[in-house]
Amino acid sequence: MIHYSSVPPRYIFSLLAVFLFLLPCWAGAELPAYNTKIPTTFTGHQQRHKAPGAGEFDVYVSGPEEAKGAIVMIHEWWGLNPHIKGLADQLAMLGYRAYAVDLYDGKLTDDPDMAATYMRMNDATSSMSKLKTTIAMAHEKHGKVAIIGWCFGGGWSLKASLAAPEMVDATVVYYGALVNDPALLKKLRGPVLGIFATQDKWITPDNVAAFEKGLAVAGVKHTVRSYEADHAFANPSGDMFQLEKARDAWRITLEFLDNTLNAEGGK
């Protein structure tokens, strides 16, 4: 046991400073703070699964096995990199079970041209099978399931939710390819959160407006946030990163997941 009367004042001050620095990471919606550093160590682990017609594939899994809510995650066009694994670990800190699916079969890059090549090479049928397999596994083990993706993965987040709406309680799309047909969108059984950028030349404000209109006509509960930023502004490893806007988007995402997965009752 430490007797604080015997501890030099400068050490007490240092301990207090550390405590005050960490405190925001423990408080309500501030937990966990948005990680601006790409991690090099991780708390989760890789699992190998098999999907019909797609063969074996990897899923990075983090968080308690007994979690009452699961989050299926889909990477950007770079592949399942440390940034996405780090976000899975952050979600695990909140008590969720995170399942980050590798749609590139281990391929990774930080070169945009190679990333574009990987995205073009991606087999849509195989990817859908992998995602539906992961969603079904998460649904069976945890009950409530949310799905979230960024860029390439944002488009897949919406497509996978539309393909397995009976097992998805919530959908989060970060600047991914959109569907605006109300006849398709009305299949969704859970709410949608869309995070977009007004300067995005791929997912333009017009695309977002059409998406919002489609959701409204379909009667799907939704929240859309558009930031004065460019595509991929929430990725700290990219040139478009904007810290405060990324933090705000992450805060909104955590609140949305909490309201969906931790709320009593059904969808």
DSSP string, 22-78: HGGGGSGGGSSPP--S--S--S-EEEEEEETTTEEEEEEEES-TT-SEEEEEE--TT
Structure confidence by residue, pLDDT tens digits, 115-174: 999 999 999 999 999 999 999 999 999 999 999 999 999 999 999 999 999 999 999 999
Q: Which fold has domain 43-261?
A: Rossmann fold (3.40.50)
**17: confidence class by pLDDT, cuts 50, 70, 90:** very low
Euclidean distance between CA atoms 212 and 220, whole angstroms = 10
**Contacts of residue 168, Cβ cutoff 8 Å, sequence gap at least 6:** 135, 145, 146, 147, 160, 161, 188, 189, 190
Residue with tokens 């070169």: 111
Q: Are the CB atoms for 208 and 185 separated by under 8 Å?
A: no
Euclidean distance between CA atoms 74 and 210, whole angstroms = 23
**21: confidence class by pLDDT, cuts 50, 70, 90:** very low
240, two tokens: 């478009």
Please give the pLDDT value at position 8.
Answer: 41
Does 181 or 4 have the greater pLDDT score? 181
pTM of the model: 0.87
> What SS3 class is residue 193?
strand
**238: confidence class by pLDDT, cuts 50, 70, 90:** confident
Please give the pLDDT value at position 150.
Answer: 98
- Number of Cβ atoms within 10 Å of the Cβ of 91: 26
Cα Rg of the chain (Å, integer): 19
Question: Checking DSSP bridges between strand 144-150 and strand 192-197, what pairing results, if any?
Answer: unpaired
